[in-house]
């Protein structure tokens, strides 16, 4: 059960280090290649982090594709024909202004410097003039490392959707309006990555391109702004830590006439989770021109042919997982002790239910193991018999596990177990045969 904000202790008081430490300690996120000293701002998801991020992507896919009749999915390749990036404008304009400090030799994004002071060096700096730095990672296709074999790691998943528009439309027989969704890795050679998984050079995006008639685009733009904000709140994110920020005209990307960001109140201030952009017919126009293929759509009802307009909700899976973690984190006092708890929505929680025998007594362990194995058929389960029951409850609280089931000596007599709720800590006795249905009911009722 998601407790309303008023019942939680947490304000914005928890800083990023608290979450980074929890992630390391409990196996959510580790520095990449740590035994070699790590690789700047790259991270690996551990056993609990991978479940959390999978759940974020799964909930996005459920709500954007599987629960709708007007959106279908694809999974396009990361490597694409290099002409794609000419057509999309990424080769010419996907750049950040880069400056070097001649004194400390560090590099900065010119547009992120508050004034002309080097953040590292303060007044003693000496900057080079700003030059454009393209954020796309370059590599070579095949054994020849020459200009003809240059390809790029995609900097967004969107272009894989646009180039497949005609394939998907004809094979799915979808009529406008309809969308194509994709989840996958993207790569940007960011000049200043940082703030944990907020800005990295390799990350996962969840993007959907919604194609519609030009005169309907404003209505769909309004629809998707509402729908996307509501998604975060349905999964338990606190409304007061979310805001919608419209881009100023000078901030808009070259393809967009309107963009709004869904922002979260991170410990350092507001930061983007997702952008919803009105892309007009920019992408299909460009790809028609560069590929020579007609990407227009024929509307049989109105007997007219046109290039569809596009509304794009584009979110980041890593930032979103991190925001859910920050939002769920709480420290409470329970009977004089500190309890660290993640109030994650059960659909997002890495483990749905932990099965805990009261002790390692040989009479209890087989029943508890049998119960855990049967529950694995329906959800992600932890089995834990090490240490005191109180410590095991605390460990599961810190992982955000919404329910714990305890097998005790009475179980051997009455075939019943105790189910404990993470948020209220209330315990209830239920028949062992009902545990699966009860866990499912509790996961899906919120």
Residues that bind ligand ATP (CB under 6 A): 156, 188, 190, 199-200, 203, 205, 272-275, 314-316, 318-319
Task: Give dist(CA 262, CA 244) in Å, integer.
Answer: 5
Angle between helices 435-445 and 365-375 (to 10 degrees): 50
Task: Give dist(CA 379, CA 371) in Å, integer.
Answer: 12
Q: What are the DSSP calls for 331-347, one per residue?
A: EEEETTEEEEEE---TT
Residue 159 Cβ, how far from ligand ATP at the closest point, in Å? 12
Report the residue number, 65 or 197, with the smaller CB distance to ligand ATP: 197
Report the residue number, 51 or 274, with the smaller CB distance to ligand ATP: 274
Report the residue number, 274 or 385, with the smaller CB distance to ligand ATP: 274
Task: Give dist(CA 118, CA 318) in Å, integer.
Answer: 29
Q: What are the DSSP calls for 306-334, one per residue?
A: EPPEEEEEEEEHHHHHHHHHHHHEEEEEE
Residue 310 Cβ, how far from ligand ATP at the closest point, in Å? 14
Residue 7 Cβ, how far from ligand ATP at the closest point, in Å? 29
CB under 8 Å to 164, separation ≥6 — which residues?
A: 74, 76, 180
HEC letters along 121-132: CECCCCECCCEE
Residue 324 Cβ, how far from ligand ATP at the closest point, in Å? 13
**Torsion angle, CA of 19/23/24/28, rounded to 10 degrees?**
-170
Residue 177 Cβ, how far from ligand ATP at the closest point, in Å? 22
Report the residue number, 288 or 320, with the smaller CB distance to ligand ATP: 320
Task: Give dist(CA 239, CA 258) in Å, integer.
Answer: 23
Report the residue number, 191 or 432, with the smaller CB distance to ligand ATP: 191
Task: Give dist(CA 137, CA 151) in Å, integer.
Answer: 9
Indicate the residue whose CB is closest to ligand ATP: 316
Report the residue number, 264 or 403, with the smaller CB distance to ligand ATP: 264
Residue 274 Cβ, how far from ligand ATP at the closest point, in Å? 5
């Amino acid at each position: 059960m998601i407790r309303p904000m008023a019942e939680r202790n947490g304000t914005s008081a928890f800083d990023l280090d608290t979450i980074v430490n929890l992630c390391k300690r409990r196996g959510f996120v580790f520095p990449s290649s740590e035994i070699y000293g790590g690789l700047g701002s790259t991270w690996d998801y551990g056993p609990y982090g991978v479940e959390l991020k999978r759940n974020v992507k799964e909930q996005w896919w459920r709500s954007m594709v599987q629960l709708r009749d007007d959106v279908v999915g694809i999974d396009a390749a990361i490597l694409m024909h290099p002409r794609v990036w000419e057509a999309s404008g990424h080769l010419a304009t996907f750049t950040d202004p880069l400056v070097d400090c001649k004194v400390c030799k560090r590099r900065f994004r010119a547009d992120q410097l508050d004034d002309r002071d080097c953040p590292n060096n303060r007044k003693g700096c000496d900057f080079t003039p700003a030059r454009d730095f393209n954020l796309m990672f370059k590599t070579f296709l095949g054994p020849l490392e020459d200009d003809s074999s240059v390809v790029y790691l995609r900097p967004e998943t969107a272009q894989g959707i646009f180039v497949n528009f005609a394939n998907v439309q004809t094979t799915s027989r979808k009529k406008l309006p309809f969308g194509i969704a994709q989840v996958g890795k993207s790569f940007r050679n960011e000049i200043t990555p940082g703030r944990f998984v907020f800005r990295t050079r390799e990350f996962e995006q969840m993007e959907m391109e919604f194609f519609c008639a030009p005169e309907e685009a404003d209505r769909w733009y309004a629809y998707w702004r509402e729908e996307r904000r509501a998604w975060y709140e349905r999964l338990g994110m606190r409304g007061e830590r979310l805001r919608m920020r419209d881009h100023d005209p000078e901030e808009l990307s070259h393809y967009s006439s309107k963009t709004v960001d869904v922002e979260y109140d991170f410990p350092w201030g507001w930061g983007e989770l997702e952008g919803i952009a009105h892309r007009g017919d920019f992408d299909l126009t460009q790809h028609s021109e560069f590929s020579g293929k007609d990407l227009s759509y024929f509307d049989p009802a109105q007997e007219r042919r046109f290039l569809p307009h596009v509304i794009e909700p584009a979110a980041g899976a890593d930032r979103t997982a991190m925001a859910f973690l920050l939002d769920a984190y709480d420290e409470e006092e329970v009977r004089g002790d500190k309890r660290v708890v993640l109030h994650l929505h059960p659909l997002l929680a890495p483990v749905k239910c932990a099965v805990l025998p009261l002790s390692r007594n040989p009479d209890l362990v087989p029943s508890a193991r049998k119960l855990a194995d049967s529950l694995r058929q329906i959800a992600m389960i932890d089995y834990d018999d090490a240490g005191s029951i109180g410590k095991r409850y605390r460990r599961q609280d810190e992982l955000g596990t919404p329910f714990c089931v305890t097998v005790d000596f009475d179980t051997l007599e009455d075939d019943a177990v105790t189910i404990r709720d993470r948020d209220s800590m209330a315990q209830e006795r239920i028949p062992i045969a009902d545990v699966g249905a009860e866990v499912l009911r509790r996961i899906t009722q919120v």
